[in-house]
Amino acid sequence: MFWDEEITAEDEERAIEWTAREFYKYGLETAAILFLESGKPLAFIGSQIGSVFVMPFLPFFGDTAYTKGDKFFKVFQKDTNVERLIKRLEELSEKGPRDDVKRKPENEQDKRVGNGRGERKGWRRYLPF
C-alpha cells in the first residue's frame, strides 16, 4: 500500500517546488516565509495534526489526492524540507516582479478602466469583488 512507500528525493523536490510556486503565484511568499520560520520547530507536530484532520477528507477527491496528500505531509514533517522550502521562497522573491503582474496605470484615465477602483495589488487581484 501507499503508506509504506518511501519518499524519494525527487518527490521531496517536486513537493517543495510546487508549494513554493503556488505561494509565489499568489504573492504570499513573504507571509509564507514568516509563518514557516515561526512554525519550523513544530513541523512534525503540524504534519501529524494535518494527517489526522485533513487526510480523512481526501478520499472524497479520489485515490490520487489521498496518496499525494500523504506524501505531502510526509515531506514537510522534516525540518530540513521546511528549510529548503524557505530557501526556495527566498530565491523566488529575489527574482523580481512576476510576469503576470500588469504594469501600473500611467494616468487617471487608465485607473478607471474595469470596475473603477484601479489596479489591485498582491493577492487581491484574484478576488472577483
pLDDT digits (tens, 9 = 90+) for 17-65: 999 999 999 889 999 999 999 988 898 998 899 889 998 999 899 888 8
- The band of 14, judged by pLDDT with boundaries at 50, 70 and 90, is very high
Per the prediction, the chain carries an average pLDDT of 81
Torsion angle in degrees (nearest 10) through CA of 101, 107, 112, 117: 60
Buried b (16+ CB within 10 A) or exposed e, 67-90: ebbbbbbbbbbeeebbebbbebbe
Instruction: Determine the pLDDT at residue 3.
Output: 60
Which grid coordinates belong to 8? 524519494
Average pLDDT over residues 88-117: 62
pTM given for the model: 0.70
Tell whether the model's pLDDT for residue 106 goes beyond 60: no
Please check the confidence at residue 103 and state whether its pLDDT lies above 50.
no
Residues 6 or more apart whose CB falls under 8 angstroms from that of 36 comprise: 82, 85, 86, 89
Q: Is 25 helix (H, G, I), strand (E, B) or coil?
A: helix
What is the per-residue pLDDT across 63-93, written as a single tens digit (0 to 9) for each? 888 888 888 999 999 999 999 999 999 999 8
Quick check: 12 and 77 in contact, CB under 8 A? no
- 36, 45, 100, 106 from 33: Cα distances, Å: 5, 18, 22, 32
CA 121 from chain centre, in angstroms, equals 18
List Cβ neighbours of 71 (8 Å cut-off, separation of 6 or more): 5, 7, 11, 15
In the chain, what is the straight-line distance between the N-terminal and C-terminal CA atoms, in Å?
Answer: 45
* Percent of the residues in the chain that have a pLDDT greater than 70, as a whole number: 78
Confidence of residue 112 (pLDDT cuts 50, 70, 90): very low
Give me the pLDDT at residue 98, please: 63
Ordered by start, the domain boundaries in the chain are: 7-94
